[in-house]
């Protein structure tokens, strides 16, 4: 193989010498070589350089120098000379890299095995040495390389999508933490505000103390008026009588959850505080189920008692429809964090 390369290099030297003496012929040869390079599979570096596996690294370097001088963009007017020159350089670098060279050698070996199997030949068949087989061999290498590249790109796309998914989940988690912090900060500032008319009414000395971190205290330690909020779904178009019945269900359910022994929502001191101060209630409206679910989640994050009424479906709405969300009783500053943006019904 080394002897063959040396002869090839000497022929190239002779041709280059003729190029300097005969510009028209040189241009024709340069264009042909550029066109040849551009026709090859860019992934097959052996074909771009015009050689086969088995060539030594030293011979690759020598052949590259000769060919790069032939097609150098400064020496030809071919419109795609730069592209061909870059491909030639990339092929030379790849064939001088052990890892890339071994990968490409294996691809050529696999392509040869596939052709032998497809044609039913033996490994020593004379047809394996013909120029026709070499062309078929290069074509099969091209096919396998393209298939490999396609698989690589699919896997890369999957990896990128997975990374994007993780990034979105991380951003969503960060946004949720920011929202929770905003809610806590608002709760602290609201409960500590001197502008709340009812915040000092009927409070003991302990309840009126400043400087306590509200978000770390149980709800019944937060000063201010206690309320129950009844949030009605406006998108269902329920009539007034239906709404009244659904609100009654929600109010009774919230009271029961906070009064029954063993209930996770049981809070008799807060319930008694609400009873003693007039059992205040407020009716609000939300746009639909999605907003109601969001309100319910906010209530859970603030440890506020919450209950969603699901209708039996006897009149006006379908069975199982969520109609009213009951919240509390809870201190007004806390409820405002959940329902502050809602309008009265």
**Helix (H) or strand (E) run with residue 164 in it:** helix 131-191
How far apart, in whole angstroms, are the C-alpha atoms of residue 225 and residue 16?
97
| CA dihedral angle for residue 195, residue 199, residue 200, residue 206, rounded to 10 degrees | -120
pLDDT tens track for 39-80: 999 999 999 999 989 999 999 999 999 999 999 999 899 999
CA atoms of 60 and 309, how far apart (whole Å)? 79
220 or 267, higher pLDDT: 267
The domain made up of 2-96 has a fold known as Helix Hairpins (1.10.287)
3-state secondary structure of 24: helix
**What confidence score (pLDDT) does residue 4 get?**
61
**Ramachandran region of residue 210, left (φ > 0), alpha (ψ -120 to 50) or beta?**
beta
Task: State the number of CA atoms in the 13 A half-sphere of 308 facing the CB.
Answer: 19
What tokens were used for 58?
């030293």
Give the pLDDT confidence of 272-308 residue by residue, as tens digits: 889 888 899 999 999 999 999 999 999 888 889 999 9
Residue 70 has a CB neighbour count (10 Å cut-off) of 20
Res 199: pLDDT: 33
Residue 245 has pLDDT above 60, yes or no: yes
CA distance 268 to 258: 7
Residue 267: partners with Cβ closer than 8 Å, 6 or more residues away: 218, 219, 220, 258, 305
140-149, 213-222, 311-320: which range is least confident on average? Answer: 213-222
pLDDT in tens, 248-278: 999 999 999 888 888 888 888 888 889 888 8
pLDDT at 25 over 90: no
For residue range 159-218, what is the model confidence (pLDDT) as tens digits?
999 999 998 888 888 887 777 677 666 655 554 443 333 333 333 333 333 333 334 457
Residues of the chain with CATH 1.10.287.110: 2-96
**CATH hierarchy code of domain 225-344:** 3.40.1490.10
Every domain range in the chain assigned CATH 3.40.1490.10 = 225-344
Closest CA to 190 of 304, 305, 335: 335
In the predicted model, what is the mean pLDDT of the chain? 82
From residue 164, give the alpha-carbon distance in Å to each of 110, 160, 161, 178.
36, 6, 5, 21
């Amino acid at each position: 193989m080394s002897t063959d390369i040396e002869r090839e290099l000497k022929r190239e030297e002779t041709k280059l010498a003729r190029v300097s003496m005969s510009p028209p012929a040189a241009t024709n040869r340069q264009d042909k070589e550029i066109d040849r390079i551009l026709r090859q599979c860019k992934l097959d570096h052996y074909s771009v350089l015009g050689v086969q596996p088995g060539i030594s690294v030293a011979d690759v370097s020598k052949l590259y120098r000769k060919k790069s001088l032939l097609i150098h963009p400064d020496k030809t007017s071919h419109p795609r000379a730069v592209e061909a020159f870059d491909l030639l350089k990339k092929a030379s670098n790849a064939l001088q890299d052990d890892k890339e060279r071994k990968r490409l050698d294996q691809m050529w070996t696999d392509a040869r095995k596939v052709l032998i199997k497809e044609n039913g030949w033996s490994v020593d068949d004379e047809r394996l040495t013909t120029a026709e087989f070499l062309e078929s061999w290069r074509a099969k290498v091209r096919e396998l390389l393209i298939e490999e590249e396609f698989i690589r790109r699919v896997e890369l796309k999957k990896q990128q999508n997975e990374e994007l998914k993780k990034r979105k989940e991380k951003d969503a988690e960060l946004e949720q933490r920011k929202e929770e912090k905003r809610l806590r900060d608002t709760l602290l500032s609201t409960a500590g505000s001197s502008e709340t008319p009812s915040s000092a009414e009927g409070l003991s000395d302990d309840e009126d103390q400043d400087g306590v971190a509200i978000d770390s205290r149980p709800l019944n330690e937060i000063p201010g008026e206690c309320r129950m909020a009844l949030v009605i779904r406006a998108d269902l178009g329920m009539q007034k009588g239906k709404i009244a019945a659904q609100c009654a269900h929600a109010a009774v359910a919230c009271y029961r959850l906070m009064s029954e022994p063993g209930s996770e929502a049981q809070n008799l001191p807060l319930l008694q505080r609400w009873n003693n101060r007039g059992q205040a209630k407020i009716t609000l409206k939300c746009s639909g189920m999605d907003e109601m679910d969001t309100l319910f989640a906010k209530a859970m994050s603030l440890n506020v008692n919450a209950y969603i009424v699901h209708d039996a479906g006897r009149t006006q709405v379908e069975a199982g429809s969520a109609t009213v969300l009951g919240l509390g009783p809870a201190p007004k500053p806390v409820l405002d964090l959940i329902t502050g943006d809602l309008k009265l019904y």
